[in-house]
């Protein structure tokens, strides 16, 4: 009887150990909130790069063109860092803009002149406020240590972007 109980216990233990093991693909499981953060950060980062490129080509003022260049440079780097972090995790980042971000891009792409500059600056102010909130939430409450650390490390740059674009907004006398 003891042998049967011991055998059954060993089988249960083996089953539990095998079923808890990650797949052989070597990917780390990530909590849903962290996964959502990574997806939203990637979507927002892609938009910042694409709108930055648009600002460089369509911007009327040098400050808008320069800010666009800064967005391309900084967010391209951040996007690459995020891709590196998630490469060993069970997260697949989007490669195209979400519907909402695509609509925002298309709306700005249709504009010309100072109307473009004004709309671009407004979008950048709102976008950076939302992005800072998103990254602050991950930095404070994230469970994945790599994503949490990355979010925390990006906050100073995001705050710098917001300060810069608010200064452009003031200098061009653009209201919300």
Q: What is the 3-state secondary structure (H, E, C) of 3-36?
A: HHHHHHHHHHHHHHHHHHCCCCCCCECCCHHHHH
Extended strands (E) in 54-124 = none
pLDDT of residue 176: 64
What pLDDT score was predicted for residue 175? 72
Question: 106-111: long-range contacts (C-beta < 8 A, 24 or more apart)?
Answer: 108/51, 108/54, 109/54, 109/58, 111/58
Please name each of the domains of the chain with its CATH number. 30-171 (1.20.1260.10)
Give the global pTM. 0.83
pLDDT (tens digit per residue) in 19-72: 444 444 567 789 999 999 999 999 999 999 999 999 999 999 999 999 999 999
Q: Longest C-alpha distance within the chain, in Å? A: 86
Say what the pLDDT of residue 10 is: 43
How confident is the model over 79-97, as a mean pLDDT? 96
Q: What number is the average pLDDT over the span 163-174?
A: 96
Q: Mind listing the pLDDT tens digit for each residue in 123-143?
A: 999 999 999 999 999 999 999
């Amino acid at each position: 009887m003891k042998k049967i109980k011991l055998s059954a216990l060993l089988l249960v233990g083996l089953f539990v150990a095998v079923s808890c093991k990650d797949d052989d693909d070597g990917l780390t499981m990530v909590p849903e909130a962290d996964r959502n953060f990574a997806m939203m950060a990637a979507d927002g980062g892609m938009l910042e790069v694409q709108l930055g490129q648009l600002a460089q080509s369509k911007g009327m003022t040098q400050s808008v063109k320069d800010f666009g260049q800064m967005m391309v440079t900084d967010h391209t780097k951040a996007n690459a860092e995020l891709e590196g972090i998630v490469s060993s995790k069970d997260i697949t980042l989007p490669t195209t803009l979400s519907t909402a971000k695509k609509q925002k891009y298309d709306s700005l792409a249709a504009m010309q002149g100072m109307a473009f500059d004004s709309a671009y600056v407004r979008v950048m102010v709102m976008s950076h406020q939302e992005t800072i909130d998103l990254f602050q939430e991950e930095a404070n409450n994230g469970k994945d240590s790599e994503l949490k650390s990355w979010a925390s490390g990006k906050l100073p740059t995001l705050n710098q972007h917001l300060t810069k674009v608010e200064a452009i907004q003031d200098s061009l006398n653009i209201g919300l």
